[in-house]
Amino acid sequence: MLVKLWASAFGGEMKSISAKYSGSQLLQKKYKEFERAVRVDEIDGLHLVKRLAEDMEEMFHKKAQAMKVLVAS
């Protein structure tokens, strides 16, 4: 029983400290201010990854072309 009381008190103290220093209450307040304006959109993760891969491939291709031009110069 004593350990249970100690654990409960310790947990309460940890919660208090984390709330004080993490800024979580401020984040919750700010979220509530913008909650009505926030929306969640579903995305197709596979499409997103494919598009990212294509964009990266294009970027690396441009960099490789630029290096070839520099080497040729």
pLDDT tens for the chain, residues 1 to 73: 788 888 899 999 998 888 888 888 888 888 888 888 878 889 999 999 999 999 999 999 999 999 999 999 8
26 and 47 both lie in a single domain:
no
Cβ atoms of 25 and 19 within 8 Å: the answer is yes
Residue 43 pLDDT: 92
User: Does residue 3 share a domain with residue 26?
Assistant: yes
Q: How many domains, the chain? A: 2
Q: Which domain holds residue 32?
A: 1-39
Residues 27 and 46 in one domain: no
Asked whether 56 and 62 are in contact (CB, 8 A), the reply is no
- The confidence score (pLDDT) of residue 66 equals 96
Whether 66 and 33 share a structural domain: no
Q: How far apart are CA 37 and CA 41, in angstroms?
A: 13
Query: How high is the pLDDT of residue 21?
Result: 84
Do 11 and 23 lie in a common domain? yes
**Both 28 and 4 in a single domain?**
yes
- pLDDT score, position 33: 86
For 48, the 3-state DSSP assignment is: helix
Q: What is the DSSP letter of 68?
A: H
Amino acid symbol at 42: E
